[in-house]
């Protein structure tokens, strides 16, 4: 399977600060990037979809000014949680996709806002 | 709209026994169905998929799934469960035929295999 690197795997931050999560596709070009959020014992909820070089499309109910997505290259996308609050604590997972590839997933990032 | 349902929150099975994790789907058009497994604090790992062809799909780690059009089901199966199979399993449907279309996930089923 394809190699996807998501970093960091865990992060603890203070309320009001911003956190950046990186997702890299190491052996294929990710034309599309999906960002998911997962609460404990729940399914993955799609937050946004981005295509390389374009603005992200956010799902209903997801604040685009709070969850900033950058997909400037075919191998790197970032999700920045701005002015984080405890309710933003969650497990975030990226899923890069290229043409003709299946869905691969990053290892996930456990964000805890204190 | 495409959707999948996993009716069981948890499935318990003894090691060595066969296991089944259920999934039903609702799609307009051709179904593109997937199974993924998630271990604690990890991303999802692909197990298998049904796009077209044989109704019995074989995947990773000895898992297989049977596509049943009349029952709109895509149950995951394994003839002999291992303790290491204990994990969270997700059924998913792709929203359209394009490889870059988004996946829609079921609620997940926790599989617990007792030694």
In this prediction, residue A29 carries a pLDDT of: 85
Q: Which two tokens stand for residue B29?
A: 């058009």
User: If DSSP codes are grouped into helix, strand and coil, which group holds residue A28?
Assistant: coil
Cβ-Cβ contacts under 8 Å for A112 (sequence gap 6 or more): A10, A11, A12, A13, A89
Cβ-Cβ contacts under 8 Å for B3 (sequence gap 6 or more): B25, B26, B27, B93, B104
B12 falls in which pLDDT band (50, 70, 90)?
very high
Q: What are phi and psi of B13, to 5 degrees?
A: -150, 150
Residue of B nearest to A30 (CA): B100
B102 falls in which pLDDT band (50, 70, 90)?
confident
Write out chain A residues lying below 8 Å of B105, CB-based.
43-44
Write out chain A residues lying below 8 Å of B103, CB-based.
34, 95, 103
In this prediction, residue B42 carries a pLDDT of: 82
Cβ-Cβ contacts under 8 Å for B52 (sequence gap 6 or more): B30
In this prediction, residue B52 carries a pLDDT of: 83
Distances (CA, A) of B3 to A22, A30, A107, B53, B106: 29, 25, 25, 21, 8
In this prediction, residue A1 carries a pLDDT of: 63
Q: Which of A91, A99, A5, A93 is nearest to A52 (CA)?
A: A99
In this prediction, residue B11 carries a pLDDT of: 98
Contact B44 A44 (CB under 8 A): yes
Digit-coded pLDDT (tens) for A41-73: 788 899 999 988 888 999 999 999 999 999 888
Residue A99: Cβ within 10 Å count:
11
């Amino acid at each position: 399977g394809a190699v996807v690197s998501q970093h960091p795997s865990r992060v603890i931050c203070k309320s009001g600060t911003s956190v950046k999560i990186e997702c890299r596709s190491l052996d294929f070009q990710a034309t599309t990037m999906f960002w998911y959020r997962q609460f404990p014992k729940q399914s993955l909820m799609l937050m946004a979809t981005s295509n390389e070089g374009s603005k992200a499309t956010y799902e209903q109910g997801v604040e685009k000014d709070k969850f900033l997505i950058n997909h400037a290259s075919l191998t790197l996308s970032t999700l920045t949680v701005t002015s984080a609050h405890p309710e933003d604590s969650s497990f975030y997972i990226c899923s890069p996709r290229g043409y003709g590839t299946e869905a691969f997933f990053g290892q996930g990032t456990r964000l805890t806002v204190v | 709209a495409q959707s999948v349902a996993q009716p069981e929150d948890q499935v318990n099975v003894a090691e060595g026994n066969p296991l089944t994790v259920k999934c039903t789907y609702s799609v307009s058009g051709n179904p593109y169905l997937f199974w993924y497994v998630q271990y604690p604090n990890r991303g999802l790992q692909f197990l298998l998929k049904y796009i077209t062809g044989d109704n019995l799909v074989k995947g990773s780690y000895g898992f297989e799934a049977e596509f049943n059009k009349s029952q709109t089901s895509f149950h995951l199966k394994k003839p002999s469960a291992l303790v290491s199979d204990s994990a969270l399993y997700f059924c998913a449907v792709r929203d359209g035929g394009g490889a870059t279309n988004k996946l829609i996930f079921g609620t997940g089923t926790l599989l617990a295999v007792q030694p």
